[in-house]
């Protein structure tokens, strides 16, 4: 809560690729101002701390989707493709409805199945042999919500993202009278 734009700027400056991406986002059509952003500090100020946090996580997530084992590599690619699709659809739906922050919904879509990544990484690093995709899917389906919730808590992400990870596949979930981020991700996942 006490973090300033200067603090965030100092941290992000350590990663030149992240600097470039955030400056690009700040100069993008959704955030563009009168003057173009030419420094990371200007980008952080223009985007705001929460949007910067969401974007940094979004940009960083792609680096997690890596594996060397063929069956796990294929599953990781499927997960990445699905996450991108759900994130993009959720972004578009939230932008169209004007009910939720589209960037936050984009992040929710990217991480809605984040628990799968540590499961696949654990299988790979322990040498557990999984040759059958049905067996792999069974393992994933039983553990992804619990492991995903652990990741979201460890990263200190907001509670609404925890709800997404735990409940996006529950079509009977009652969020009340207002659409929430989980509802948006459920719709995007169905679509």
- Per residue in 32-70, pLDDT tens? 677 787 788 888 888 888 788 878 877 776 666 666 777
DSSP H stretches of helix in 98-177: 102-111, 116-126, 133-155, 159-167
Q: Who wins on pLDDT, 108 or 62?
A: 108
In whole angstroms, give the CA distance from residue 116 to residue 49: 28
In whole angstroms, give the CA distance from residue 118 to residue 116: 6
Whether pTM exceeds 0.75 = no
63 CB burial (10 A radius; 0-12, 13-18, 19+): exposed
Mean per-residue pLDDT of the chain: 84
Q: Residue 98, CB half-sphere, CA atoms under 13 Å: how many?
A: 0
Is residue 179 predicted with pLDDT exceeding 80? yes
pLDDT recorded at residue 183 = 92
CA distances from 79 to 15, 18, 170 (A): 26, 23, 19
């Amino acid at each position: 809560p006490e973090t300033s734009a200067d603090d965030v700027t100092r941290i992000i400056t350590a990663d030149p690729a992240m600097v470039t991406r955030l400056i690009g986002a700040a100069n993008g059509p959704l955030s563009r101002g009168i003057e173009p952003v030419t420094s990371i500090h200007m980008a952080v100020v223009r985007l705001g701390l929460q949007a910067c946090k969401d974007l940094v996580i979004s940009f960083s997530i792609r680096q997690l989707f890596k594996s060397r084992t063929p069956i796990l590599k294929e599953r990781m690619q499927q997960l990445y493709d699905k996450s991108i699709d759900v994130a993009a659809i959720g972004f578009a739906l939230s932008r169209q409805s004007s009910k939720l922050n589209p960037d936050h919904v984009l992040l929710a879509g990217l991480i809605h199945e984040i628990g799968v990544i540590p499961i696949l990484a654990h299988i790979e690093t322990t040498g557990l042999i999984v040759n059958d995709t049905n067996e792999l899917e069974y393992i994933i389906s039983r553990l992804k919500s619990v492991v995903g919730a652990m990741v979201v808590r460890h990263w200190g992400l907001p509670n609404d993202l925890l709800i997404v990870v735990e409940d996006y596949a529950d079509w009977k979930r009652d969020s009340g009278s207002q659409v929430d981020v989980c509802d948006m991700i459920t719709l995007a996942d169905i679509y």
